[in-house]
Amino acid sequence: MIKTILRRLTPLYILVFFGVAAWLLISTKEAPEQKEEQKPVPIVDVVKVEQKTVSLNLPSYGVVTPKNKTQLVTEVKGRLLTISPNFVAGGVVKKGEQLAAIEPSDYEADLNQAQASLAQAQAALEEEIARGEVAKNDWKGYDGGLPPELGLRLPQLKKEQANVKFAQASLARAKRNLERTVIRAPFEGIIKTRIVDLGQYVTLGTNLGELYDTRIAEIRLPLANNDLAYLESVDNPDTQVTLSASLAGKTVTWTGDIIRSEGVIDAENRMVYLVAEIKDPYLREGRKEGQLPLKYGSFVTAIIKGRTVDGIVQLPRHIVRNGQVAVISADNIVEVREVNVVRTDVNNVYIKDSLQDGERVSLTKLTNISSGQLVKILGEASKNGTNLPESDIAKEQRLAAAGDQ
């Protein structure tokens, strides 16, 4: 009987035993050690600040044009008798060189006629002078006062003198018209276009072609009105300019001068135009080895030399955000510092009176960087003696140095 009861209560004993054991285990369990979660220290690349004296150069662009160009027009009429081989598009001509000639026979006849008319007028004047002398002798015994001008033939003398002047003017005009039958280049240049052909009849004012002066080229360079503050003088922007263009598969540069400002703001684009001047763009006065001519119509980029300023720090444009940079101290602590940006261009910013020589500025963009934050420097040894990973730039510099050795 007792054995039967014990056998039936055995499962209950087992449950109680395991329940007590579980309670003992739970009550004696030690709490796990609590550790603070460590945030990863950001790694940044830095650059050391160096103050320099720089020219605040201004970028611009423009198209090369001749300073002087002219339409070659006729001043007399007639048929084109000859045309110079150089009077073609692209032909280079010298000052005074004959470009074309008009049939001169009519103007030679006019010249001969004018010469004959002048000879007649001079003969008539000499005759009238002689008659005047005779009239003076006839009036010597006249006691009625001064002799009349008509009696002394003074009106007739003035008439003949006027006739001589008229004939002289006609002769001068005939000579000019004969000279104008030859069309000459008014200056050294290159022929842009020729419109007429040999044997064509031209009238007064007919356009023969266009001539570009090759002695001086000009380029109009647009600048924003605010950029004028970076020039040495706004009213007289006498400074240098460097032009560059791609010619014959390579980049070629030329040096010129800013000679003037157009002095008005363009109503369409709100820009101010400076005018640059390049002397001898076609290298007709002399060419050095490797030089190429600056051809009219070329599109060029320009760098205008601006004011020279001391104590300027030049940094990549992307690291300045909202006028602030991240300065890294010797203890690798971040200081977010306001900087005085005096100029910005496509790639760089120019800062003055904000950073000292030797200070380090972060080149790495950090989204939530703040003053007092601890950072690690890329390539700098850590406290455990290991080096942080190199940047690609640092790695290239190290490999290049090893290659040189």
Locate all alpha helices (DSSP H) within 49-181, ordered by sequence: 105-138, 154-179
Amino acid identity of residue 279, one-letter, is K
pLDDT tens-digit map of 238-269: 788 999 998 877 888 999 999 988 888 888 88
pLDDT tens-digit map of 375-402: 888 877 554 444 444 444 444 434 443 4
Q: What is the mean pLDDT of residues 115-136?
A: 85
Q: How confident is the model at residue 36 (pLDDT cuts 50, 70, 90)?
A: low
Amino acid identity of residue 132, one-letter, is G
Q: How far apart are CA 172 and CA 115, in angstroms?
A: 9
> What is the reported pLDDT for 148?
62
Question: Could you tell me what percentage of the chain is helix, strand and coil, using 3-state DSSP and rounding each to the nearest 5?
Answer: 25, 35, 40
Q: What is the mean pLDDT of residues 293-300?
A: 92
> Which residue carries 């000009």 as its tokens?
218
Q: How confident is the model at residue 221 (pLDDT cuts 50, 70, 90)?
A: very high
Q: How far apart are CA 188 and CA 92, in angstroms?
A: 8
> What is the reported pLDDT for 195?
93
More reliable by pLDDT, 379 or 358: 358
pLDDT tens-digit map of 227-237: 887 887 766 67
> Which residue carries 């369409």 as its tokens?
268
Domains and CATH numbers, the chain: 71-211 (2.40.50.100), 215-308 (2.40.30), 309-377 (no CATH)
* Cα 219–chain centre separation: 6
Q: How many residues does the chain have?
A: 405
- Burial group, residue 355, by CB count within 10 angstroms (0-12, 13-18, 19+): buried
Q: How far apart are CA 363 and CA 353, in angstroms?
A: 20
Mean pLDDT of the chain: 82
Q: What is the mean pLDDT of residues 38-54?
A: 83
Using the predicted structure, report yes or no on whether residue 114 has a pLDDT greater than 80.
yes
- Measured torsion, CA atoms of residues 366, 367, 372, 374, in degrees rounded to the nearest 10: -50
The per-residue DSSP string of 157-195 comes to: HHHHHHHHHHHHHHHHHHHHHHHTTEEE-SSSEEEEEE-
More reliable by pLDDT, 150 or 199: 199
